[in-house]
Structure 1
Amino acid sequence: MKNELRRLPLLPLRGMMVFPYMMVHLDAGREQSVAALEQAMLDDKVIMLTAQKDADIEKPGFEDLYSVGTVAEIKHLVKMPGGTVRVLVEGLYRAQIVNCYDDGEFIDVDVHEYEDVTEQSLEMEALVRVVVHEFEQWVKTSRKIPADAIVSVSIISDAGRLADMIAGHLNLKLEERQELLECIDIKTRLERLYGVLKREREILDIEKKVSGRVRKQIEKVQKEYYLREKVKAIHNELGDKDGVQGDIEGYRKRMRAEKYPEDVVKTVNKEITRLERAGNMSQEASVITTYIETLLDMPWNKTTEDNKDIKKAAEVLDKDHYGLEKVKERILEYLAVRQLTSGQNAPIMCLVGPPGVGKTSLASSVARALGRKFVRASLGGVRDEAEIRGHRRTYVGAMPGRILAALKKSGTKNPVFLLDEVDKMAADYKGDPTSALLEVLDPAQNNTFSDHYVELPFDLSQVLWIVTANNLAEIPGPLRDRIEIITLSSYTEQEKLEIAKRYLVPRQHVANGLTSKNLRIGAGVIQRLITDYTREAGVRELERVIGQLCRKVAKKLVEGEVDSVKVTTKNLVDILGKIKYHHTKEKHKPEIGLCIGMAWTQVGGDILPTEVNVFPGKGHLILTGKLGDVMKESAQAALSYIRSRQKKLKLSPKFYEENDIHIHFPEGAVPKDGPSAGITMATAMVSALTGRKVRSDVAMTGEITIRGRVLAIGGLKEKVLAAYREGIKTIILPEDNRRDIEEIPENVREKLEFIPVDHVDKVLENALLK
């Protein structure tokens, strides 16, 4: 640094600065700046250039300027219109402002001038080389300045001048440029410049990567657009205006119009790409098209709003069905819970009962009560697992399973879904469909149900599942564990009468084109139809008989014989023919060796007459009537009990050795098995061995042990209703089933006598005549 001070005019620069050895054009418009330039031209054409800290200040003071600047020589000055001056300056060397003088016209400053002192050493030479190399790499990468700049820099031998020339080429922030200008020491200047060049190189590499990625995306979009237009033009030339491309555009339009899950959109886009490659005439195109349409048709996010009005729902259920109070109460409970909670998994109800009691129609009424769509899948005879989970798309003619196919048809993901006859599914070499239902009906799994055809998880948790079955024992244990069992019992005669009046007769009138004027049904006719022409747990056969009656009347009306027909109990046989069923009370009187049992079947309850004959022989126990293993064991247990009570029953000590006992159950073609005929067989055998008659108005049910204890049974309501239909007056049942008597309709309970027993001795006391 020179010791003497030099006074020079000051030109403040806004938003820029000048390095030594740098030649720059400047435009000056402020009065002070123009005056300073004019004064410098009058002197020796040298001026002090320094940058403002804040470019917005119009008249900067000493504190608003950086103290270190550049002394520059004015090479050329031109006055422009409007008072502006354009000047070409060349930086000479660094200088620091010491004093500042403002006379109002322009600013004069006293400056210390700095001279670059270069240290000749190996370290300095190495530093110069790495800076030059880094600058060369930056020029090649950036391409913002001509490559000739590398040549002009490489021939400079002065390290200080080299650093200033390189810094002048870099597009840096004003603060960074000022820091480099204030580096008086050349070594420090080069080290800092090297760091700046390194950082700029890294920034350029990142910019290059980003721009390359964006360019590829733009090129890909442009290429795809071009190819699509080309394919469209080819289809137009071939006369196939729409073709595959038309389908693809339709798919894309649907995806834009509707909201699909992200994985569905991703899969459809992937299949569209395959479809574009496959072409219109390819066999694979139809397979891909079907799959895409299936995905787009599925109700991924479509739901219907539930009707939460419990009173209205109760009215719908009562209007559609008579009785079934437990089921209706369970549906209303579900609605109440839905009002108090949100996002709860729908229940899975299993309606178990005989045919014709209204299981299937009840599910439809539930859908109407809730305001939901109703779908049904009949599972009777299903043997293939693919019926539930769908076929894999590798197979010809693959399709979704019945579950997703029904949801696709319904258009919502929360319908009432009826799985009918679930107990009639079977398994073979194609798989076990019952096991496939486990995922469908498991609340912990069905929110991500996977169909082999769709291959994307589908949420089944919002579906209200209703399962129906005739025989609970035929449903596998794991499946029963996932469902809520609701039992629908047999209808009483009074319930059948009400159902026929409210629903069956009006429905058959419409089905056969009749009115209440054409066909008038007298008092007692429907009751006769129930007792004399049907014998069932439900009302399906009753509706068929009513339909037959309507058809007979319709034939007479069409033939012109009459204008209207009135059916009475007197002419009923003439119209429908002879009665089909006769009552036991009209056929039987107390007999020896004949006892009436009660049985539960899949179609409701039935009575089970049991006949026993005793004749000389060698002690054989003969069982006939197509009996199962359980009933054979019950017969052996009953015989063991009788042998243990031989003295009390006043039987010969060797009665079981001298006689053969034959137990027979009529209707031998019908399989019979179950743990409820023990006391019936014991009573019939005791009657045959002792010669005491059995009451004909008594029916009984209960299992027996070899010590004579009476064990509980199931299906009491169905059994009692069957006995009631046959005119039975007294029911003998196990003591443990006393609590089940409450389930029997009150109008039936009032007309029957119930005798709960815990031992066979009590059975014999009440069943055998003295």
Structure 2
Amino acid sequence: MEQNYSTKEHKLPVIPLRGLAVFPYMVLHFDVGREKSINALEEAMVDEQLIFLTSQKEAEIDVPTPDDFYHIGTICKIKQMLKLPGDTVRVLVEGMSRAKIKEIVDDEKGFSATLEEVVYNEELLKEDKEVEALIRNVFDSFEEYINISNRISPEILLTLSDIDEPSRYVDTIASNMFLKPLQKQEVLEIFDPKERLEKVYKILLEELDILKIEKKISLRVKKQVNRVQKEYYLKEQLKAIHKELGEDEETTDDIEEYKKQLKSIKVKKEIKEKISKEINRLSKMSPSSAESGVIRNYLDTIFALPWNKESKDKVDLKESAKILDEDHYGLDKVKERILEYLAIRTLSNSMKGPIVCLVGPPGVGKTSIAKSIAKSLNRKFVRVSLGGVRDESEIRGHRRTYVGAIPGRIINAMKEAKTKNPVFLFDEIDKMASDFRGDPASAMLETLDPEQNKEFVDHYLEIPFDLSRVLFITTANSLNTIPRPLLDRMEVIQVSGYTEEEKLKISKKYLLPKQIKEHGLEEGFLKISDETIRDIITYYTRESGVRNIERTIGKVCRKAAKRYVENRELKNIRINKNNLEKYLGKKIYSYEPIKENPEVGIVRGLAWTSVGGETLSIEVTPMKGKGQLVLTGQLGDVMKESARTGISYIRSKYEQFNIDENFYKEQDIHIHIPEGAIPKDGPSAGITMATAVISALSNIPVNNLVAMTGEITLRGRVLPVGGIKEKVLAANRAGIKKILLPIDNKKDMEDIPENIKKKIEFVFVKSMDEVLEHALIKDGE
């Protein structure tokens, strides 16, 4: 008998696929993410764009070995490659022919294999009568399979009628059937087209049997559903008859109660009409229907809202001031603004509720002062945290068309408050995000606009609710992430960090007594001196607020409680500078003291951080070179630009500073800011870097008792910067005696405590000439 097939050898890259089987003549796309697979694709693109695709035995395996995938698969031609975000590649391939792995190579780059392709003589197969009969049987069965399953387009039958090669015919049918991965692989592993036709015919017959049983079950279930619907209809008719006879008393009572509640609330006529329509809808519905439950929830929400309940404000300014002072030390601006609001409320009752935004670093008491405001006003307090809220529906609610719809956080909070004029705190308003579910910040615009919030419409209620009597307070750590339109509606009050003296008083007056009580210790048992508290503040915490100080005092209380439990005879425990390390361990922070002597090229700058002020020593060293400017210490783009601006200013004034004209060509200048692991940015170190460079190039030392901050321009002007209070506090901590500040920052001096103004000399400068006059030590000084 004549052999009707021939073999070919190929050496190709291999990709194991997860949950996919590719048949010859089949076109499909898939995504590739594994490094080995991407390497195999790149290798294939270099050669003839041919690749061998096979299926993994277990789809869950991330790093397969040659034993984890089948050794019979399909040689494919890569038609198209597309790089997707996240190092993923989408590939379009066309199956060419079956092949078997004879020898496989597995290295770090990927898999490659020597393959044996088997090619059958299609002309000999066409002459085989048995093959012809099998093709007809398979076609008839496949046609019936399409009609019953309704999952495959009948157009495939037209495609099949145009195919005259038996091998391609059977593969096209197999690739269009809904088979299990194992069945697909079984078909793929049969090289002989005749055997393959027999296998596919057998699978088709089995599938047809299953589909017929499925159809029978489906018809039976449909009949049952129709019967259930009929029963439901009859039951509804029965309920209507009961209602006519007055037998449905419970529902009638609920509807009467809703009507009574509707009369008691004072709202506009159109709102009453809308609520009345909902009550009438409920009265015509079956109590057991799903829609009935939705309407009941809606009506319950509406009647739970404080439409006309309002708490009466306290109008005693002295009492309110006393409450605010008892709960918080300092924060004078915030207290003053609240007392102003109260004073106006005593004169005019039509005053709209202001929207106050307290901005400041963590732990300075922004959230707790909102509670004190509510207490001083004799109002209810509600808090909504906006940290991480990224769905508009969280603010404005879901429409009732959605299953499980609920009102937004604002309406829910008003239900909790039970009055229409609470103190409403939006915490962490700067932490809101937006994504495909909408922008919650935009949804907040209507809430926080005094001109619009009189008629705030929640998507769930779909009727306006008056928020104009609410006193809204928002808190944020930074204004940078708050959208401008939202910020425009708020009155911003900066809550700056506390000075060391303020932290000491807060610790003694509030934190220490609170922690002693919380840890079950008696009053007076734990004695901590003022000096010890100062050491805790200086060496164990570094923050603008007092949250970490409270935690550290709590740690001391825990250790003291343990000692007391171990030895009940102790009358008291004293903690001083000598035994503090026993309770808290080694000092965590240290502050860089002032240099003992003036040095060339080292200047003390002042910086602002989210946890308070810092002093930075800026070091400059010139070296022989080609005029490179080297900047180290994790400097941001703005800081690097400030350094370049300073260099350009020095080049324009080289004669004035007695500096070599060609310094920028013949010398490399290295500017370094220590604590290199901490990122630094901003323009406020401009004059500091320029002074250090001038000192290094002219070999004139810088006064070690001077610190400075300010932005520099190309012409040497000194521009104002922010965070003055925090920077001055840091300078005081480091023992600085003179601070150079931009003249436009003179207005910030009102925030500086009087005791610090007495200790430090403040010099306000307009230009670099004035800076150098105070910073550089001339001969004879």
Using the alignment, how far apart are the partners of 1:670 and 1:228 within structure 2? 79
Among 509, 517, 521, which residue is 2:524 paired with?
517
> How far apart are residue 569 of structure 1 and its match?
1.8
Relative to 1, partners in 2 of residues 1:588 and 1:433: Cα closer, same or farther, differing over 3 Å?
A: farther
1:182 corresponds to which residue? none
1:690 aligns with 2:703: no
Among 718, 723, 726, which residue is 1:715 paired with?
723
Equivalent residues in 2 for 1:188-203 (5 A)?
none
Q: Normalization by structure 1: what TM-score?
A: 0.67
Relative to 1, partners in 2 of residues 1:707 and 1:622: Cα closer, same or farther, differing over 3 Å?
A: same
1:288 aligns with 2:295: yes
Equivalent residues in 2 for 1:406-425 (5 A)?
406-425=413-432
Equivalent residues in 2 for 1:216-615 (5 A)?
230=243, 242=250, 244-245=251-252, 247-256=254-263, 259=266, 261-560=268-567, 563=570, 564-585=572-593, 590-615=598-623
1:701 aligns with 2:714: no
Relative to 1, partners in 2 of residues 1:665 and 1:701: Cα closer, same or farther, differing over 3 Å?
A: same
CA deviation vs aligned residue, 1:330-374 (integer Å, no higher than 9, x gap):
111111111111211121111111111111111111111111111
Among 753, 760, 767, which residue is 2:768 paired with?
760
SS at match of 1:699: strand
SS at match of 2:764: strand
Checking the alignment, whether the CA contact within 8 Å between 2:400 and 2:460 is kept in structure 1 is: yes
- Which runs of 5 or more residues in structure 2 are unaligned? 1-238
Equivalent residues in 2 for 1:37-116 (5 A)?
none
Amino acid at match of 1:320: D
SS at match of 1:467: strand
> How far apart are residue 737 of structure 1 and its match?
1.4
> How far apart are residue 512 of structure 1 and its match?
1.1
> How far apart are residue 246 of structure 1 and its match?
5.3
Using the alignment, how far apart are the partners of 1:278 and 1:625 within structure 2? 73
Among 651, 662, 683, which residue is 1:675 paired with?
683
Using the alignment, how far apart are the partners of 2:275 and 2:760 within structure 1? 68
Checking the alignment, whether the CA contact within 8 Å between 2:634 and 2:677 is kept in structure 1 is: yes
Using the alignment, how far apart are the partners of 1:301 and 1:263 within structure 2? 17
RMSD across aligned C-alpha pairs, in angstroms? 2.3
CA deviation vs aligned residue, 1:482-524 (integer Å, no higher than 9, x gap):
1112111221111111111111111111211112233122342
Using the alignment, how far apart are the partners of 1:465 and 1:547 within structure 2? 33
SS at match of 2:640: helix
Checking the alignment, whether the CA contact within 8 Å between 1:556 and 1:562 is kept in structure 2 is: no
Relative to 1, partners in 2 of residues 1:375 and 1:587: Cα closer, same or farther, differing over 3 Å?
A: farther
CA deviation vs aligned residue, 1:639-686 (integer Å, no higher than 9, x gap):
011111212222222111112222233344444322211101111222
2:745 corresponds to which residue? 737
Amino acid at match of 1:688: A
1:617 corresponds to which residue? 625
> How far apart are residue 384 of structure 1 and its match?
1.6
Relative to 1, partners in 2 of residues 1:251 and 1:590: Cα closer, same or farther, differing over 3 Å?
A: farther
Amino acid at match of 2:383: R
> How far apart are residue 314 of structure 1 and its match?
0.9
Amino acid at match of 1:524: E
Checking the alignment, whether the CA contact within 8 Å between 1:710 and 1:760 is kept in structure 2 is: yes
Choose 378-387 or 361-370, whichever is displaced more.
378-387
CA deviation vs aligned residue, 1:1-37 (integer Å, no higher than 9, x gap):
xxxxxxxxxxxxxxxxxxxxxxxxxxxxxxxxxxxxx
Using the alignment, how far apart are the partners of 2:596 and 2:301 within structure 1? 65
SS at match of 1:303: coil
Using the alignment, how far apart are the partners of 2:331 and 2:349 within structure 1? 28
Checking the alignment, whether the CA contact within 8 Å between 1:389 and 1:436 is kept in structure 2 is: yes
Relative to 1, partners in 2 of residues 1:704 and 1:232: Cα closer, same or farther, differing over 3 Å?
A: farther
The size of the alignment, in residue pairs, is 539
Using the alignment, how far apart are the partners of 2:661 and 2:693 within structure 1? 16
CA deviation vs aligned residue, 1:549-591 (integer Å, no higher than 9, x gap):
1111111122236533111222111111111121211777544
> How far apart are residue 259 of structure 1 and its match?
4.7
Checking the alignment, whether the CA contact within 8 Å between 1:232 and 1:245 is kept in structure 2 is: no
1:665 corresponds to which residue? 673
Checking the alignment, whether the CA contact within 8 Å between 2:386 and 2:428 is kept in structure 1 is: yes
Relative to 1, partners in 2 of residues 1:536 and 1:696: Cα closer, same or farther, differing over 3 Å?
A: farther
Amino acid at match of 1:230: K
> How far apart are residue 447 of structure 1 and its match?
0.5
Using the alignment, how far apart are the partners of 1:582 and 1:232 within structure 2? 87
Using the alignment, how far apart are the partners of 1:463 and 1:577 within structure 2? 48
SS at match of 1:339: helix
Checking the alignment, whether the CA contact within 8 Å between 1:416 and 1:463 is kept in structure 2 is: yes
CA deviation vs aligned residue, 1:231-268 (integer Å, no higher than 9, x gap):
89666xxxxx84x5554444334335555554443333
1:26 corresponds to which residue? none
SS at match of 1:584: coil
Using the alignment, how far apart are the partners of 1:282 and 1:667 within structure 2? 68
Relative to 1, partners in 2 of residues 1:287 and 1:614: Cα closer, same or farther, differing over 3 Å?
A: farther
Checking the alignment, whether the CA contact within 8 Å between 2:625 and 2:666 is kept in structure 1 is: yes
Relative to 1, partners in 2 of residues 1:602 and 1:385: Cα closer, same or farther, differing over 3 Å?
A: farther
Relative to 1, partners in 2 of residues 1:429 and 1:588: Cα closer, same or farther, differing over 3 Å?
A: farther
Using the alignment, how far apart are the partners of 1:670 and 1:269 within structure 2? 63
CA deviation vs aligned residue, 1:43-79 (integer Å, no higher than 9, x gap):
xxxxxxxxxxxxxxxxxxxxxxxxxxxxxxxxxxxxx
Relative to 1, partners in 2 of residues 1:495 and 1:688: Cα closer, same or farther, differing over 3 Å?
A: same
SS at match of 2:687: helix
Relative to 1, partners in 2 of residues 1:736 and 1:722: Cα closer, same or farther, differing over 3 Å?
A: same
Using the alignment, how far apart are the partners of 1:618 and 1:476 within structure 2? 46
Using the alignment, how far apart are the partners of 1:436 and 1:670 within structure 2? 37
> How far apart are residue 318 of structure 1 and its match?
1.1
CA deviation vs aligned residue, 1:398-438 (integer Å, no higher than 9, x gap):
22222111111101111111111112222222222222221
> How far apart are residue 461 of structure 1 and its match?
0.8
- Which runs of 5 or more residues in structure 1 are unaligned? 1-225, 236-240
Relative to 1, partners in 2 of residues 1:375 and 1:711: Cα closer, same or farther, differing over 3 Å?
A: same
Using the alignment, how far apart are the partners of 1:586 and 1:571 within structure 2? 27
SS at match of 1:725: helix
1:123 corresponds to which residue? none
Checking the alignment, whether the CA contact within 8 Å between 2:605 and 2:685 is kept in structure 1 is: yes
Paired-residue identity, %: 56
